[in-house]
Amino acid sequence: ARGTERRVAEAGPAPVRLGVADIEAVLGPPRFDGPRDVAKRVTKPGIALGLAATAYGGETLYVEVEMVKGKGAVQLTGNIKEVMQESAKAALTWIRAHVSELGLTDAKAESLLTTTDLHIHFPEGATPKDGPSAGVTITTALCSLLTGRLVRHDVAMTGEVTLRGLVLPVGGIKEKVVAAHRAGVRTVILPEANEKDLRELPKKVVDSMRFILATDVRQVIDAALVPLHDETGDTAGGQAGGGGPPATDGRQGEP
């Protein structure tokens, strides 16, 4: 920092050109590279990126799901509280009730109930996690694992899911979307009832984001999962599925 100040002082009123190396010398190396970090973590079926609101602001929240031989049990780890455990159970019940709709065979559905254990993990266990807003993320991660379809690595999501598959509104939308933006994610799936909360976002965030508004978890799955013939995980070509939820660039409904 002193070296930069000296250069400025010696240069007088003329502007000083700073490069990346100069900035890193003052601030240190980058803490993370948002888009690349997300892409590196969402590399196989069963991983989805959610969003959480904490006392310190918004945070990205990964959900990882894996299958092992067992007896139909479900294990949840990652310092999660009671409400989030209930969200995981509701997500699994919805999936078990819609196995044929998801394209799962009868044998796989039977295996899910009787001979397979599911492990749902929330990394970064030092951070307590609670609330219903991970419902859509858990459901998406489970569907991804069971169908073998990747989750798009440039999509984050939040929302509560009922046993009937309805996507209910959640709190902390401003903090969550800002967290997604900070992580380099530019598409966020939200409950349709939370559209009004987009007005609270900074304009520079709104202008660079795309929002997909959902009322049913099927819409979330269609928008979030990559078709089996496309393993790129990019959303530039549009969302998966033909009858997906409405999308907005965020400027709709601004005051």
CB 116 within 8 A of CB 69: yes
- Annotated catalytic residue, options 87, 133, 144, 174: 133
- Which among 176, 196, 204, 208 is annotated as catalytic? 176
**Residue 74 is encoded by which pair of tokens?**
């479900």
By C-alpha distance, which of 155, 220, 226 is closest to 191?
A: 220
Query: Is the separation of the CB atoms in 151 and 224 below 8 Å?
Result: yes
Share in percent of the chain as helix, strand, coil (round to 5): 35, 20, 40
**Maximal CA-CA distance, the chain:** 77
Pairing mode, strands 210-214 and 187-191 = parallel
111 is catalytic: no
Catalytic (active site) residue 176: yes
Six-digit token pair at 16? 């000083």
Closest CA to 132 of 165, 175, 92, 161: 161
Catalytic residue numbers read 133, 176
